[in-house]
Amino acid sequence: MWLKGEESSDAETGTKNNAVIVYRNNHGEIVGLVCTATYAHGNEKGPIVWIREVAVKLEYQRQGVARNLIMQALSYGKKHGAASAFLAADECNKCAINLYESIGFMGKKEDVQNDMFKNRKCL
């Protein structure tokens, strides 16, 4: 459903502009990716870019790959009208949370998931 770009039956919260952005090494191999989309198109504050998944091969972590991918996803969302951004992180994933906070996301902690938002002036 994600890669096919299918939307939920609820037009308010259905995703649009689904994309997978990849990062390649010097040999052309994919070493990281981010799945992203926009949703809440009926929101009076504007659509939200959702950074759904970020994955980087272990040997390429802590080299700026994830930051690059997230910045590309934010740019992609802005290009498609997003006014803010959302992602979620497991509360035990301190490295990821530190990265997200350094980009401007602020946490709204729930049980074991840390919902993080980035407002319009930061996109």
Global confidence as pTM: 0.82
Element containing residue 107 per DSSP (H, E) = strand 106-109
| Domain 16-122 CATH class label | alpha beta
Percent of the chain whose predicted confidence (pLDDT) is above 90: 63
List all residues 6 or more positions away from 48 whose beta carbon is below 8 Å from its beta carbon.
Answer: 38, 39, 40, 77, 82, 83, 84, 85, 86
Binned at pLDDT 50, 70 and 90, residue 97 comes out as: very high
What does the pLDDT look like over 8-66, one tens digit per residue? Answer: 434 444 889 999 999 999 999 999 999 999 999 888 999 999 999 999 999 999 999 99
HEC secondary structure over 11-67? CCCCCEEEEEEEEECCCCCEEEEEEEEEECCCCCCCCEEEEEEEEECHHHCCCCHHH
